Amino acid sequence: MIWLYIAGIVIFVLGLMASIGLHEIGHLVPAKLFGVRVTQYMVGFGGTMWSRRRGETEYGIKWIPFGGYIRMIGMLPPRPGDDPTKLRRASTGPFQGLIDTARDVAQEEVGPGDEDRVFYRKKWWQKVIIMFGGPLMNFVLAFVLFTILLVGIGLPGLSPVVSPDTNACVVPHGQTRTVCAAGDQPTPAAKAGMKAGDRIVAFNGVKVANWEEATQKIRKNGPGPVTVGIIRDGRPMTLNVTLIGREAIDDPTAKTKGEGFLGVQATRIYEQQSFGTVIGYMATLTGHVAESLVNLPQRMVGVWHAAFSGEERDPNGPIGVVGAGRIGGEIAASGLPVKDKLFELVNLLAGFNLAIGMFNLIPLLPLDGGHIAGGLWEGLKRAYARVMRRPEPGYVDIAKVLPLTYALAMVMIVMAGLLVYADLVNPIKLSG
């Protein structure tokens, strides 16, 4: 239904905005704690939808909900050796002019009495904490969401309990038939009297603990008579069943009957996990995300081919917010049970937060990781100077790498645009 599809997109967008808002709070709180003057806290980009000033900070929401920022004064240090009482000789080089202009803009909001409230003059470890606070909030939110999934809802799995959706007759692979037609062959399970709700506990006298063990034994056995131990309404029972070959289902004339076929469908269940499982689950996903980031350039080539050459989209490849929103809509509009929809939507938001946090830690400007790297480098320089009994070095001047920063920002904009286009013309779909 279209309204469910729209609701799924809205839920994802609201979750995304909440994630962005918390990310920026991760920067805002330590910045204010360390005395940096923050003039703006905004969720989104573009024109301002709503804003309100509290103290020295303007808090607001903008129309494009695909990002956010806080504005701290003095992000860049002034030009070394500048004397504010004298005119400065203009720079003629294109890069130097760009840097000087950025320095001037950074100093515009610095007023009298703000000398110790600028970002660049804070201790190196304070800079690291301020800039790491954003990704940290994404990691915390991802952990909370994954805890809700694994501990609260549980991991989806299959139980060796006969599902009510099980076909009573043999149908070709991939088909579903709720009512058997005249002449249809009953499944081996139906012939033996197996019913929905029966729990399979043994096969040929050997206990089975889960659905995977049961299916392995059934398939490995092949066609022929077997015994299946079940529990029905709390009472153990043994059924005599004659399995048929899987290959004979699609082709009755097949000489090779192949794997054994019982004809039951497992019941989907959710198994609640421990808090320790959440840590291991996130650690595994973090490794996958890190690998994806390392291979991002190569994966973006695949996105390009999918967008402009019609190649199949890699379901495990990069996806933008537009594509993730579409998946949210597909989840909500799908025929899955409500619990399954809730699991998939929460899992989508949790994974997105983990990816946002990891991406922002890339040690390149304008990402948070670039500022963190600058703060750590400054700390190393100061520690080296103390050990070598040398004069304390000045602040790390990240303005010097602004040309590279702008170039990287352009690359990121192009990548984001490519993802949006690919998500529109050749999206990754829930069904794969």
E strands, 55-152, in order:
57-72
Opening angle at CA 322, ends 319 and 324, nearest 5: 55
Task: With CA atoms as reference, report the closest residue to 318 among 298, 337, 338.
Answer: 298
Length of the chain: 432
The token pair at 396 is 């790390």
* CATH (residue range 158-271): 2.30.42.10
| pLDDT recorded at residue 80 | 63
Cα distance between residue 180 and residue 196, in whole Å: 16
Six-digit token string for 236: 């153990």
| DSSP string across 164-202 | TT--SB---TT---SSPPTTPPBPHHHHTT--TTPEEEE
Would you give per-residue pLDDT tens digits along the chain (432 residues)? 788 888 888 998 899 999 999 999 999 999 999 999 999 999 988 899 999 999 999 999 999 887 899 999 888 777 765 544 443 444 445 555 556 666 666 666 777 888 889 998 899 999 999 999 999 999 999 999 999 999 999 888 888 898 888 887 887 766 666 677 777 788 898 889 998 899 999 999 999 989 999 999 998 888 889 999 999 999 999 999 999 887 766 665 555 567 888 888 888 888 888 888 999 999 999 999 998 888 888 889 998 988 898 888 888 788 888 888 888 998 998 888 888 899 999 999 999 999 999 999 998 888 899 999 999 999 999 999 999 989 888 888 887 787 888 888 898 889 889 998 998 888 887 654
The span from the CA of 5 to the CA of 140, in Å, is 28
CB 259 within 8 A of CB 220: yes
24 tagged catalytic: yes
CB atoms within 10 A of CB 35: 12
* Dihedral in degrees, nearest 10, Cα atoms 114, 115, 116, 121: 130
pLDDT at 42: 94
C-alpha span between 31 and 412 (Å, rounded): 26
Q: At what angle are helices 2-33 and 321-333 packed, to 10 degrees? A: 130
Q: Which residues are bridge partners to 341 per DSSP?
A: none
The catalytically annotated residue of 24, 330, 344, 378 is 24
**In the beta sheet, which residues pair with residue 207?**
202
Cα separation, 107 vs 346, in Å, equals 42
CA distance linking residue 379 with residue 18, whole number of Å = 33
The per-residue pLDDT for 88 is 43
Give the residue from 11, 73, 21 showing the smallest Cα distance to 43: 21
**N- to C-terminal Cα separation, the chain:** 20
d(C-alpha 188, C-alpha 80), whole Å:
85
Classify residue 39 by its DSSP letter: E
All residues at 6 or more sequence positions from 316 whose CB lies less than 8 Å from its CB, including other chains: 292
pTM passes above 0.85: no
For the chain, give every domain's residue range.
1-154+273-432, 158-271
What residues does 68 pair with on adjacent strands? 43
Q: What angle do CA 276, 279, 284 make, to 5 degrees?
A: 130
Residue 93: what residue type? G
User: For the range 50-57, what are the long-range contacts, defined as Cβ-Cβ under 8 Å and sequence gap of 24 or more?
Assistant: 57/28
